[in-house]
Amino acid sequence: MATIGYARVSSTGQSLDVQLDRLVHCDKIFQEKTSGTTAARPKFKVCIEYVREGDTLVVTRLDRLARSTLHLCQIAEQLQRKRVELRVLDQNIDTSDATGRLLFNMLGAIGQFETEIRAERQREGIDKAKARGVAFGRKRRLSDQQICDLRRKRKEGVLIKGLMAEYGLSKASVYHYLSKPIS
């Protein structure tokens, strides 16, 4: 009956220190720096395989564990099959009793709702900015005239490698300028 901790941050620039300080009481801690939205969380996979019946998996917050309510429920089911309890420190959740399991599911659903609302607001903001004429992405490196020259030279047989050197572009950028309409 061990206490196993799992700590995760989304990017390499972030620090695990705060989570690790809160998990110091755990017998073993699995940690990684990877986005929760990616399917590949190798340390989490090892952690789930490691826990045994009677163990308790401890995380600081629910969003460190799963990327959606569905994913959270899948993890909960996996832990339940293995007879492993879950404790979430910040939300004071302990799935060893009925109240903890209820709170776990409610907070998971609320977290998913918040994520979806945030994504909708972001999309609305982007749409409004585009309607106002705000340009997104990098600025073009070539003028319309340069693009025309680049296309003419390619039709004349100049190699992509030569166009890359002449215009200071990557291979992908040359192909991009050759295929996209001039705006």
pLDDT tens digits along 151-180: 999 999 999 999 999 999 999 999 999 988
Residue 183 has pLDDT above 90, yes or no: no
Residue percentage of the chain with pLDDT more than 70: 96
Cβ(58)–Cβ(6) below 8 Å: yes
Which residues have CB under 8 Å from 151's CB, separation 6+? 177, 178
**pLDDT greater at residue 84 or residue 34:** 84
Residue percentage of the chain with pLDDT more than 90: 50
The answer to whether 10 is a known catalytic residue is: yes
pLDDT at 160: 94
Residue 137 has pLDDT above 90, yes or no: no
pLDDT at 1: 87
123 vs 2, 117, 170, CA distance in Å?
44, 10, 30
pLDDT at 37: 63
For residue 178, give the nearest of 159, 155, 157, 151 by alpha carbon: 151
pLDDT band at 74 (very low <50, low <70, confident <90, very high): confident
For residue 109, give the nearest of 138, 72, 137 by alpha carbon: 72
For the chain, the maximum distance between any two Cα atoms, rounded to a whole number of angstroms, is 75
Active-site entry in 10, 68, 143, 170: 10
Cβ(78)–Cβ(66) below 8 Å: no
H helix runs in the chain, sequence order: 17-22, 42-50, 69-81, 98-131, 144-155, 160-167, 171-179
Cβ(64)–Cβ(36) below 8 Å: yes
pLDDT band at 128 (very low <50, low <70, confident <90, very high): very high
pLDDT tens digit sequence for 107-120: 777 877 887 898 89
Residue 38 has pLDDT above 70, yes or no: no
